[in-house]
Amino acid sequence: MSANNNGFKDMADYMGNLAKVDPVQLSMESLQDAANFYTKKLIPMIPKSLLKKDHMADQVKVEVQDDRVTVSFEGTAFYWRFAENGTVNQRGQHFASGTFEQNKTEIENLMTKKIIDLWKG
């Protein structure tokens, strides 16, 4: 019987493998997957403009910057909040927050799945 059969070597090997993974890259990939999923669910919910202008649904994009991932509206960034929250003359449609609330658990699962899978081994 081996004297080193106490589990510490196995755990040291496991922790050594975890240390080789770049946590920033792993979390950025998870965030990007979640943002792409949210965008896919959001686009059908965005109201269409009756005017012959650029529609918000055509300008949704996922941006990956140094340490964050954002979902934004390119040219209509100033105007989307009026449709979302409403104005004095317009009722709020809550398409962005409603889409997030409906898909919150799936988004959270996508954000944590790779990290949990890494910890499971």
Which tens digit of pLDDT belongs to each residue from 26-49?
778 888 899 999 999 998 988 887
Q: Domain for residue 9, yes or no?
A: no
Sign of the C-alpha dihedral computed for residues 96, 23, 8 and 2 taken in this order: positive
Within-domain flag for 35: yes
Residue 38 lies in a domain: yes
Neighbours of 75 (CB within 10 A): 11
Q: Which of 7-16, 25-34, 78-87, 107-116 has the lowest mean pLDDT?
A: 7-16
CA distance 112 to 86: 33
How many structural domains is the chain composed of? Answer: 1
The answer to the question of residue 114 being in a domain is yes
**Which domain, by its residues, includes 60?**
26-120
pLDDT reading at 21 higher than 60: no
Over the stretch 92-116, which tens digit does the pLDDT of each residue have?
888 888 999 999 999 888 888 877 7
Residue 91 lies in a domain: yes
